Amino acid sequence: MQPYPDICPCQINPTAETADAPLSYRDCCKPYHDAFYNDEIDKADGTKAETAERLMRTRYSAFVLVKPEYIVKTTVPAQQGLLDFDAIESWAKETHWAGLEIVEHTPKLGKRHAQVEFKAYFNAKDNTVDLAEKIQAHHELSTFVKVKSKANQDALWYFLDPTVAMTVSQKQPCICGSGEKFKRCCGGYL
Ligand SMILES: [Zn+2]
Ligand SMILES: [Zn+2]
């Protein structure tokens, strides 16, 4: 077992001049990761992400700490079986993560969606002379959907993965279980 990092991976940002003291992993993403690992997420007392930004942060930390199970379980349930677990795990392991910057959080988009624009920094492996040029960023706009869980009435946020090919047609019920047509719901973001 590797020791827990003092500073949560999602709190390390190579570009921000943040005045706040960064949170430790124990006080930041760990309770969320633990809740999923213990399968407590469907219980009322399980720690779950209150916002899409919170979920985004815990997913970034899960990549850094190589917790592919968390990445899978926080993706919308209809896509979970279509994810390539081994590819997620090796990508997490092979990437030299360098920090997360939340560019913009749109907490409410229609009835049940939210978006987070972020930059996930990583060290490129090439032998560039200039050190500053070695840090690169994945700049992405991710969409999240709120889904009611089976076991309790609380809705949970899930990541909508646009890279997963879905075989649902535009007129079929949405993959998130909202009861709306796919095209009027998550289809607009996939
Ligand atoms: Zn964190
Ligand atoms: Zn939907």
CA of 6, nearest ligand number? 1
Helix or strand or coil: residue 141?
strand
**49 CB neighbour count, 10 Å cutoff:** 20
Kindly identify the ligand whose nearest atom is closest to the C-alpha of 158.
2
As given in the structure block, the two tokens for residue 111 are 């009835």
Distance 100 CA to ligand 2 centre (A): 27
Determine the residue type at 102: I
Judge whether 129 and 99 are in contact, CB under 8 Å. no
User: CATH says 9-163 is which class?
Assistant: alpha beta
Q: Among candidates 111, 190, 118, 116, which has minimal Cα distance to 155?
A: 111
The Cα–Cα gap between 65 and 97 comes to: 10
Distance 82 CA to ligand 2 centre (A): 17
Which residues in the chain come in under a pLDDT of 70?
1-3, 14-20, 37-47, 125-133, 149-153
Specify the pLDDT at position 2.
56
For residue range 81-106, list pLDDT tens digits in order: 999 999 999 999 999 999 999 999 99
Query: What is the pLDDT at residue 20?
Result: 65
**Domain range summary for the chain, segments of one domain joined by +:** 9-163
Q: What is the pTM of this model?
A: 0.88
Q: 18 C-alpha to center of ligand 1: Å? A: 15
Q: What's the CA dihedral at 37, 99, 131, 17 to 10 degrees?
A: -150
Classified as helix, coil or strand, 52 is helix
The DSSP symbol for 132 reads: G
Hey, what are 42's tokens? Answer: 């469907």
For residue 9, the CA-to-ligand 1 centroid distance in Å is 6
Ligand nearest, relative to CA of residue 62: 1
132 is written with which tokens?
A: 């500053």
Note the pLDDT of residue 45: 47
